[in-house]
Amino acid sequence: EAQVTQNPRYLITVTGKKLTVTCSQNMNHEYMSWYRQDPGLGLRQIYYSMNVEVTDKGDVPEGYKVSRKEKRNFPLILESPSPNQTSLYFCASSLSWDYLGEQYFGPGTRLTVT
């Protein structure tokens, strides 16, 4: 089944404790992206990757890191999480940036930072 998977689905952590949210797709997609969703603010793009080893900042990259060492994986790293990073996070992928809109979204990761 074609899908985007994220792990963990739920995470409660404390301020400053490094964490990684994994994202994996099995569709051989070139483009991958991370978003956060907050009430009243909609979805905001954190980082995106056009292909392996190519990553770029979205609208809200501060406090996050990403890497794209292999095509299928695009982990989101929070080196020192803070309470304002409490949010619902979505990973997404598409065939390429030419098909930017036709993104497949993962099920989401709900992160709480206390």
Partner 1 sequence: GESVGLHLPTLSVQEGDNSIINCAYSNSASDYFIWYKQESGKGPQFIIDIRSNMDKRQGQRVTVLLNKTVKHLSLQIAATQPGDSAVYFCAENGGGGTSYGKLTFGQGTILTVHP
11 binds partner 1 (CB under 8 A): no
Nearest in space to 21 (alpha carbons), one of 11, 36, 30: 11
Among 11, 44, 67, 112, binds partner 1 (CB under 8 A): 44
Answer for which of 25, 29, 34, 48 binds partner 1 (CB under 8 A) is 48
User: Is residue 36 near partner 1 by the rule CB under 8 A?
Assistant: no
Note the Cα 51 to chain centre separation in Å: 15
- Could you say whether residue 41 binds partner 1 (CB under 8 A)? yes
What is the DSSP annotation of 20-79?
EEEEEESS--SEEEEEEEETTTEEEEEEEEEETTEEEE-S--TT-EE--SSTTB--EEES
Give min distance, CB of 111 to partner 1, in A. 15
Q: Which residues contribute to the site for partner 1 (CB under 8 A)?
A: 4, 31, 33, 35, 40-45, 48-50, 56, 58-59, 90, 92, 97, 100-108
